[in-house]
Structure 1
């Protein structure tokens, strides 16, 4: 289980798109469950045995399996049945690491994902969010240029 005490869920979830086009209220509830359950972590990928989800939701295994498959078909999650691993698709688009320590911790979680197929997908998604910071020379910023040269860079200066 995760030690997280909260999860970010964007209000954009309720805008027209894949989520609102889901076929049932149960499918929508399951997606919100995956976003916010106590198994969630900073990699958006976690092991979740069917029995845990069924107990949390009060559903039969048949209902859970059917609704989970609808989320896979909608492209909102990926699931590896061999090791019960769930990945919330596009996790890092909405929940990128906030600093280098957060990124390092997330990388450790990714390295521990049991499913090779899903781990490779999560690694690729994570890596795509880790763009190197642009190198900016101090003289390239208007405020620094003005302060150092005594000119007003934005108004043309001297």
Structure 2
């Protein structure tokens, strides 16, 4: 039997939603009701599958809208873990019901599985969603080994392992309830073109460019979509270039061999990277990939050198022909 998700009708009257485009609303509704979703509203997602279920292209449609929702403080996205956090989840579901006897074990397990950089912020927000004075607050804090009750903002710690998103005006939106009908909601911290046509052109990035090596000269498998490439770039921030290329070549070799990758390309790459960090990585499928790339580069370089050579003059050309004929013992009178 399929699961059911609840969406409060106040979503249509929320000041926070007043500046949202149709695409923004559609994406938010998807993440509130996604088949990937779980009890706590923070879950692992496969971007390509999500986009397919929405009837969108992952790179040109879904990712730009996700960036806008992240900027607005409605979502958060961890590209390393491929986790989505729907910040308004508890405006549509009961936090108290989630830790009732029936669901408590599952809820606590899912919170424990969150990306490390989100855990304290999520627990703080969750506890503050429980009724004031309810003994469940203490029960949940104790079960999750959470300290004093405090309302922290996500990514408050500079070294929490997550890529920071600039705070901007989106901090105004954090932990606002849809029931706060008179709070001022600014959907987007920056001006946006609301004219006709495609509205999914916001260029604000989810990813902090200082943590990636987009111009590192590495050769990535062509089969990777943008989200997968960005996730892998972030995983490689502290890996020497030569080792990084060997790992990428191994990934490409695995992609080209059907049946090698059982889950996702990013998950497979994480396995390769873990072996590398432990000193157990041995190139196999990547050797052929690297060899073919070197051969291609050599052939391209030789062709480029040939095309860049300075053409000979007519006299020089005739002299070269004479020389060749002399070497072949061909005595032919050259035309004047």
Name the TM tier (shorter chain). 0.7 to 0.9
User: Which whole-Å deviations, capped at 9, do the CAs of 1:85-128 have from their partners, x for residues lacking one?
Assistant: 10111323442131233233211111112x21223322222222
Give the match's secondary structure for 1:18: helix
> Is this contact kept in 2: 1:111–1:119, CA < 8 A?
yes
Give the match's secondary structure for 2:7: coil
Which of 49, 54, 62 in structure 1 is aligned with 2:51? 54
Do residues 110 (structure 1) and 108 (structure 2) align? no
Alignment of 1:7-156 (within 5 A): 7-22=5-20, 24-60=21-57, 61-95=59-93, 96-98=95-97, 99-113=100-114, 115-130=115-130, 131-133=132-134
Structure 2 CA distance, aligned partners of 1:68 and 1:87? 11
Q: From the superposition, tell whether residues 4 and 17 of structure 1 become closer, same or farther in structure 2 (CA, over 3 Å).
A: farther
> Is this contact kept in 2: 1:4–1:38, CA < 8 A?
no
**CA offset at residue 18 of structure 1?**
1.5
> Is this contact kept in 2: 1:4–1:41, CA < 8 A?
no
Could you list the runs of 5+ residues in structure 2 that have no partner in the other structure? 136-336
User: Which whole-Å deviations, capped at 9, do the CAs of 1:47-95 have from their partners, x for residues lacking one?
Assistant: 1121111111121122111000111111111111111110111323442
User: Which whole-Å deviations, capped at 9, do the CAs of 1:6-47 have from their partners, x for residues lacking one?
Assistant: 11100000004122321x211110000000011111111011
Equivalenced residues, count? 130
**CA offset at residue 133 of structure 1?**
2.9
Structure 2 CA distance, aligned partners of 1:82 and 1:44? 18
Give the match's secondary structure for 2:15: coil
Structure 1 runs (4+) greater than 4 angstroms displaced: none
> Is this contact kept in 2: 1:97–1:103, CA < 8 A?
no
Greater Cα radius of gyration, structure 1 or 2: 2
- 1:138 aligns with none
> Is this contact kept in 2: 1:90–1:125, CA < 8 A?
no
> Is this contact kept in 2: 1:79–1:85, CA < 8 A?
yes
RCO greater where, 1 or 2, for CA within 8 Å and sep 6 or more? 1
TM-score by length of 2: 0.36
TM-score by length of 1: 0.73
